[in-house]
């Protein structure tokens, strides 16, 4: 996060931390403007998304927000990635080509762009939220698989120890049986030898 901030900004950015662990790490950071609990399950994603949008709306009314960069975990690349969310369509602006057939709009261009940006922002934040949630769940699954493997290994080791102890008990029982059967024969032999 710090390297991205230094690479992209010359000023102090405002940060919105999302997720319990991240919020705990950044709660004393003076750049934080909002701490939002992350979604643990899919059903909580919508609530978190609305909190993010409300926070962005509040920030926009307080001071014009010229750019928004989202930093999140990507499960496909298994790393932290960043996405320039605002200003929107930045890549498309670099193309100098004009389309051969421009779109026919039923709204004035500014109104259309305003509504398009709202839909774009909502869709992009949705994608980022679900991608991050998938990465978190993948991490949890791997952690659970590791714990399960550890329990399986421990169970196998305990079964092996139990079998070894049981085998020792059986050997001791056999020794006791052999010693107890050998003792009466020795007594009988001793009686016969004393009669002669």
Question: Domain ranges in the chain?
Answer: 1-90
Q: Percentage of residues in the chain with pLDDT exceeding 70?
A: 85
Prediction pTM value:
0.67
pLDDT tens for 100-117 read 887 888 888 888 888 888
Residue 93 pLDDT grade (very low, low, confident, very high; cuts 50, 70, 90): low
Alpha-carbon Rg for the chain, nearest whole angstrom, is 35
Query: How far lies 17's CA from each of 97, 108, 144, 181, in Å?
Result: 39, 36, 26, 79
For 74, the 3-state DSSP assignment is strand
Per-residue pLDDT at 165: 95
The Cα–Cα gap between 186 and 193 comes to 10
């Amino acid at each position: 996060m710090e390297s991205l901030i230094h690479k992209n900004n010359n000023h102090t950015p405002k940060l919105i931390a999302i997720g319990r662990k991240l919020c705990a790490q950044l709660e004393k950071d003076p750049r934080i403007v909002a701490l939002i609990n992350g979604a643990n399950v899919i059903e909580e994603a919508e609530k978190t998304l609305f909190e993010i949008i409300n926070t962005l709306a509040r920030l926009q009314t307080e001071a014009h927000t010229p750019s928004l960069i989202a930093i999140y975990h990507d499960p496909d690349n298994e790393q932290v990635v960043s996405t320039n969310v605002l200003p929107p369509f930045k890549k498309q602006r670099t193309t100098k080509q004009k389309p051969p057939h421009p779109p026919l709009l039923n709204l004035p261009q500014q109104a259309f762009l305003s509504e398009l940006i709202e839909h774009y922002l909502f869709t992009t934040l949705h994608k980022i939220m679900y991608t991050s949630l998938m990465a978190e769940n993948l991490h949890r699954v791997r952690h659970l698989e590791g714990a399960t493997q550890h329990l399986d290994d421990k169970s196998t080791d305990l079964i092996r120890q139990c079998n070894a102890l049981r085998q020792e008990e059986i050997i001791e029982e056999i020794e006791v049986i052999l010693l107890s059967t050998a003792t009466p024969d020795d007594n009988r032999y001793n009686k016969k030898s004393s009669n002669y």
